[in-house]
Amino acid sequence: MTATPRLTRDDVAHVANLARLTLTDDELDAFTGQLADVLDHAADLEALDLDDVSPMANPFPLVNVLRADEPGHDDVRAEILAAAPSVEDGQFRVPPVLGEAP
C-alpha cells in the first residue's frame, strides 16, 4: 500500500466514531500504533500482481438457498423480549432516536 499513508490518530478517531466506540486519549495513542503495525505488515501484499485475479468472498460459490414454503408456528417472541435490556408493550424500548424524549 505504497500509495496509502501510515494510519494516523485522526484516522483511528474517525473509525472509532463510525464503529460507535469512544476512546480515551491514551487508548487512541495505543490503538493507533497497534493498528498501524497490522497495516504495515499487510504492505507485503504490495508485492503481488493481482490485476487479473478475481476477489473471493466465500470459499465455495454461493447459491440462493430456498426452503419449502410450509406454514409453521415458531413463537419465541416472549423469550426474545425477555432477553432484552428494556421492553414496553411487546417491543424493544430505546432512548429517543430523534428529538426530545416524550
DSSP E strand boundaries for the chain = 87-88, 91-92
- Residue 62, interface with other proteins (CB under 8 A)? yes
- Residue 85, interface with other proteins (CB under 8 A)? yes
Among positive and negative, which fits the CA dihedral 45, 51, 57, 61?
A: negative
Among 71, 90, 96, 102, binds other proteins (CB under 8 A): 96
Q: Which of 7, 5, 68 is nearest to 34 (CA)?
A: 7
Q: Please, which residues have CB within 8 angstroms of residue 87's CB and are 6 or more apart in sequence?
A: 81, 93
- Residue 21, interface with other proteins (CB under 8 A)? yes
Among 25, 72, 76, 88, binds other proteins (CB under 8 A): 76
Among 48, 69, 88, 90, binds other proteins (CB under 8 A): 48
Distance CA 17, CA 10 (A): 11
Residues near other proteins (CB under 8 A) are: 1, 3-4, 7, 11-12, 15-16, 18-23, 27, 31, 34-35, 37-39, 41-42, 44-45, 48, 50, 53-60, 62, 65, 67, 76, 79-80, 83-86, 92, 94-97, 101
